[in-house]
Structure 1
């Protein structure tokens, strides 16, 4: 049996239930506020660069990013349904994000622990200068 044709689309006008189901069917759901639907909706609504992967009518992948479309694109979420992993969908979502985000824009991300070894394999370089301030902490 052959794999279904994967179609890629741009835009964040998506059904929140489908997005949440995808996050739950990938490793990303463990690190996102899945029970807070309003927050999940805001995350989706305010992302200005969203690429999705579809197998027929099923959402099987998403790249959710913030971009200035010139200098930098922050890839905040990359999720592929576990039944569709290892088929190049994540790699193509990143490639599509690069194309739409601008030919010279850097792509920056924070790797999930399970995917930390994946990114160097596809061309990303590690930058130890990154810093993170927790969402519930204020600058001192």
Structure 2
């Protein structure tokens, strides 16, 4: 597979949900069951699915009110394709759809903060959150 053949689709037509679920497993997101992944992506206003040779190798999604706020979720790139510009292409694709949005929020996975800084996202000083999963609470919340 060649990263130069990356195609990003902003719809869920013909998506193979099993491939998206496998991607989540490949990046270590083991608590995401396929039925919940389907619901999350179908309920999102904007999606970006990265394909190489018809195989899902990256993704991201957005929830937004289309006026003031948007949040980017589930940016995941298959480990074989990390560091090749695919994550940047997917996040840039999502941000292009959010040009008129005043505030775009994203929670970076631990260790990936610099990647998002390079895309001109900045650390939020007053963000608050709640996690039902205690291990995520310990990782992300003060």
> TM-score, structure 1 length as denominator?
0.82
1:124 is aligned, of 121, 125, 130, to 121
* Counterpart position of 2:21: 20
Unaligned runs of 5+ in 2: 134-142
- Superposition pairs of residues 50-129 of structure 1, within 5 angstroms: 50-101=47-98, 103-105=99-101, 106-129=103-126
Show structure 1 runs of 4+ deviating over 6 A: none
Mean alpha-carbon deviation: is it higher for 63-72 or for 121-130? 63-72
- Superposition pairs of residues 33-52 of structure 1, within 5 angstroms: 33-34=31-32, 36-52=33-49
Provide closer, same or farther for how the CA distance between residues 64 and 9 of structure 1 changes in structure 2, counting only shifts above 3 A.
same
CA RMSD of aligned residues (A): 2.1
Number of aligned residue pairs: 131
Mean alpha-carbon deviation: is it higher for 60-69 or for 77-86? 60-69
Offset at residue 2 of structure 1 (A): 5.8
Equivalents in 1 of 2:2, 2:126: separation in Å?
A: 44
Equivalents in 2 of 1:69, 1:40: separation in Å?
A: 22
Unaligned runs of 5+ in 1: none
